Structure formats: structure tokens, C-alpha cells
Amino acid sequence: MTQFINGKWLAGEGHAMASGNPANGEQIWQGQSATPAQVEAAVTAARDAQFDWFMLGFEGRLKVVEAYRDLLQENKDHIAEVIAQETGKPRWETATEAAAMIGKIGLSVSAFHKRTGETESETPAGKAVLRHKPHGVVAVFGPYNFPGHLPNGHIVPALLAGNTVIFKPSELTPKVAEETLKLWEKAGLPAGVINLVQGEVETGKALASHPQLDGLFFTGSSRTGHLLHQQYAGHPGKILALEMGGNNPLIVRDVADTKAAVHDIIQSGFISSGQRCTCARRLYIPVGEAGDLLLTNLVEATKQIRVGAWNDEQQPFMGSMISEAAAKGMVSAQDNLLSLGGKSLVELKHLKAGTGLVSPGIIDVTSVAELPDEEYFGPLMQVVRYSDFDEAIRLANNTKYGLSAGLLADSRDDYEYFLARIRAGIVNWNKQITGASGSAPFGGVGASGNHRASAFYAADYCAYPVASMESDSVSLPAALSPGLSL
């Protein structure tokens, strides 16, 4: 039973699907996709449930959401293990993903009040009241790299605001979605308030194009996000929130602590095997002795990175990539950069046939004239040596994306110079550029998003403002408008 529609677990009526542990190919989930008719049933259930869910009031909805949080807390080890099995990420890392899912509840409650709360004020014309109402029925599309935390970051604020949801997870991580939905069910969510439809692109298309949706919240690739944006053109009444990829730059300037800089670079480029939208893809290092020393240290430290299975007793820093196809895709990306004139400093290697295990790679692309503006979604760092800070910033900004960017430099003046000129939604100084905080807005500019930041600002796209002028009874104004007599 793989679909959860109107409070019931149902078998999919579409084609066969399966997911497995990408570090050893072992199958861990199988089922069938939802057909368009099942997507239709899910949207109808969400529509039927929506008004009552809204009318439960914030406190009523919160009770259920808090029960879900308590269940997450009780089951956090299980959720972390399922995420690890299905994505290949190491257990230490998926424990932080489960913790982020739990933390999302408190943050979303706080954001609900701060970003969309209710206010009243007396104005010369009477009492002005600002309230927020849910959009209605929304679809949530999730990516595979954070199959728990990122859909949760849309679902929790959407439900708190009073929307009902149809969730379409990545086809690569159906089991995480199923286990999460079981917790929602156990938390006592009324039938139809969340519906789960599993499937691939056809299921996604059937859902995204459904005329009864009031909104769609998407986290995934820039390619799919752009398709959805085109599909939503001409529908100004529907809310579309797109969280997409990046080709993120990290610039190193003068830093005294080389070891700390190397640590921040590795955490920026190779965490989650490079499968974070915030990962640094391009690293700008100054020419000269200090830059040479940093690069030598980075190369050595990268060669020492432990790669392994999610449950290895000696935990690896990097687990498996999501699939063998993704691993092969990274080898091809490296080959492409080499053919354009890049010089390999550490070779990214596919470690074992039939798995997504790869070692991290570093490639010097300084002499590549036209660097492809691509998001290579894996552990491959492109290094560019620069001699002029302005030139480094110009190159860093030379991308259609604009998600995250960072500067490692001991001078605050350098940071302020960089901050004023760099174009990205997340700009860090002497900190890794991955691991963004849920208590801040999270989103990018350019091809990375559509100005609907998520995380703390997710509350904004989950509700619309309603402005009211109110009075207990009708009354005549002190003076009538010219030309009126009553």
C-alpha cells in the first residue's frame, strides 16, 4: 500500500516502482505509482477536507502538528535510518536531518506568528485588522537529497496555515515519504488533509497540471522548476514557490588559519557527497604562495576523506551518491571539464560498479575559457586561481544562478566589499556555505528561485493577507462627501 489518499492506504494502480540502498543495490521498497485517476482522488480529498481543517483554528491544527513532532521525536532513529538506507547518506548526517525535521515545528509556529500573524490598529477611518488565510489546496514536490527535511519544510507551514496538501516525493525516496506519512496519520490528522501520491514524472505532471490546485511548492532541479514556471504562466491566481539549484562560488582571500579554511571548503563542497543545492561548486583561490599552500592542504585533506556505506561502523564523511547513474554523471562532468582544458588535482572516481560510491574530486579550471554554467550535483570542486579580487567577484557572479556564495577572508572590509557586489540569497563570511539555518529565509535569485524564499519565510507563501476595515455597526461619517445629501 503505497498511496495515502483521503486517510486510507491504497495500492498504486500505475506501473511498478522500487527503491534501494545505493551503496549496495539492495532493494528496500517496492510498489506501484499513482495513476492520474488516483491523483484526481487525492486532489478531491484535499479539497473536501480543506475548509474544516482551516475552521479547526490555529490551536486545533497546532495540536495535531505537535503530536506529529512528538512522534518524530520518538521515532527519530528510525526515520534517520530509513533516510540513510534510501539515500546512502551516512547515519551521523541523517540524524541531523531527522533533528531538523523536529526543529521545523517550533520554527514554523514562530514564523506563522511573526510573518503572518494577526494585527489590529486604530486608524482615523476606524479599526484596521490584518489577517492571513490559507491558499487552499497545495501540492508539495520534494527532492531526493533531503527527502525528509525539505518536503517537511513546505508541509508543516502549509498545514499550520490551514492548507491541505498533496505530497509527491522524489521517485528515488518513496520509503522516507511513506514512513513520514505514517507518523502524520498516527498524529491524528483528519482524512484528506495530507495525501501522498508516489510516482515519477507522469505522476508529477498529472498533479502539477491539476486545475483544482491553488498552489505548488517545489524543491528540486532548476530544469524541472523552469518547466513548472512555464506551466504556471497565465495563472496569476496560483501561488508557485520554486527552490532550485545553484552553481555556487566560494572565494578565498587572505586567511591566517589555512586549516580552518580547508575545513570550511570541504564542508561547503563535499558534505552529502556534494548533493546539496548550497554546495560550493566553484572555488576561487589567489595566485601566489599563500594560495599554493592552501591548495596543497586542500588536495591532501580531500584525498583523506573517508567514503563508505551509511552504516559503516567507522562512519564515513561522505556516503554513497543517490544512484549509480548519478555517480556516472559526475565522472562524465569531470571528463567534460578535462576535455575543455581542466587539470585534475584529485580525481573523482566511481569506486564500485553497481553503486553510487564516488570519491571527491578537485579540478583546476583556470585555463578553461568558457566554463559551463552547470550545477554538477556531486562532489567535484572546480578551482580557479585569480590575481585580482574584483576579477574573482566578477567571475563568481558570472552565473545564471544565485543561491549561495561565500568569502573566506580575515578582513571585514573585504567582506563588506564582497557582500555589496555578490548576487546570491545566502552570503556567508568565514563560514561554510552549506547548512543554512531554518530560522532565516532560504532561497536564491536568478535561476535558483522565483523570489519565494523558504525556511523561515515559508509562512509567507502558505497564506495570503486579508486587510479589513471593521466597525461593530454602520454609522454616518462626521461630514458627508461633497454632492451627497441623506
Ligand X SMILES: O=C(O)CCC(=O)N[C@@H](CCC(=O)O)C(=O)O
Say if CB 163 and CB 189 are below 8 A apart: no
Residue 366 φ/ψ, nearest 5 degrees: -55, -40
CB of 305 vs ligand NAI, minimal distance in Å: 21
Say if CB 157 and CB 111 are below 8 A apart: yes
User: Looking at beta carbons only, is 62 or 111 nearer to ligand NAI?
Assistant: 111
d(CA 388, CA 383): 15
CB of 23 vs ligand X, minimal distance in Å: 20
Among the listed residues 243, 279, 375, 462, the single catalytic one is 243
Q: Does 174 bind ligand NAI (CB under 6 A)?
A: no
Stretch of 42-50, 77-85, 243-251, 356-364 contacting ligand NAI, by CB under 6 A: 243-251
d(CA 155, CA 165): 7
Cell of 188: 491524528
Among 454, 460, 461, 463, binds ligand X (CB under 6 A): 454
Cell of 238: 496560483
Sign of CA dihedral 57, 62, 67, 69: positive
220 is in an annotated binding site: yes
| Nearest partner of 172 among 72, 242, 89, judged by Cα | 89
Q: Does 455 bind ligand X (CB under 6 A)?
A: yes
CB of 322 vs ligand NAI, minimal distance in Å: 8
Burial class from Cβ neighbours inside 10 Å (0-12, 13-18, 19+) for residue 177 reads buried
68 vs 183, 382, 401, CA distance in Å? 6, 42, 35
Q: Does 407 bind ligand X (CB under 6 A)?
A: no
∠13-17-21 over CA atoms, to 5°? 150
Among 107, 150, 160, 309, binds ligand NAI (CB under 6 A): 150
d(CA 335, CA 299): 19
- 88 binds, options ligand NAI, ligand X, none, Cβ within 5 to 8 A by partner type: none
Q: Does 432 bind ligand NAI (CB under 6 A)?
A: no
Say if CB 457 and CB 120 are below 8 A apart: no
Per-residue binder mask for ligand X (CB under 6 A), 112-151, x = binder? ---------------------------------xx--xx-
Which helix (H) or strand (E) segment holds residue 116: the answer is helix 91-116
> Is-catalytic flag, 462?
no
Say if CB 381 and CB 281 are below 8 A apart: yes
Among 141, 310, 386, 456, binds ligand NAI (CB under 6 A): 141
Stretch of 205-213, 227-235, 271-279, 388-396 contacting ligand X, by CB under 6 A: 271-279
DSSP letters spanning 267-310: HHHTGGGG-STT-EEEEEEESSHHHHHHHHHHHHHHHT--B--T
- 441 binds, options ligand X, ligand NAI, none, Cβ within 5 to 8 A by partner type: none
Per-residue binder mask for ligand NAI (CB under 6 A), 42-81, x = binder? ----------------------------------------
Q: Does 405 bind ligand X (CB under 6 A)?
A: no
> Is-catalytic flag, 185?
no
- Give the single-character DSSP code of 309: -
Among 31, 88, 220, 342, binds ligand NAI (CB under 6 A): 220
Residues of this chain that bind ligand X (CB under 6 A): 145-146, 149-150, 153, 276-278, 434-436, 438, 442, 454-455
Active site positions, annotated: 243, 277
Residues of this chain that bind ligand NAI (CB under 6 A): 141-146, 150, 168-171, 200-201, 204-205, 208, 219-221, 224, 227, 243-245, 277, 375, 377, 403
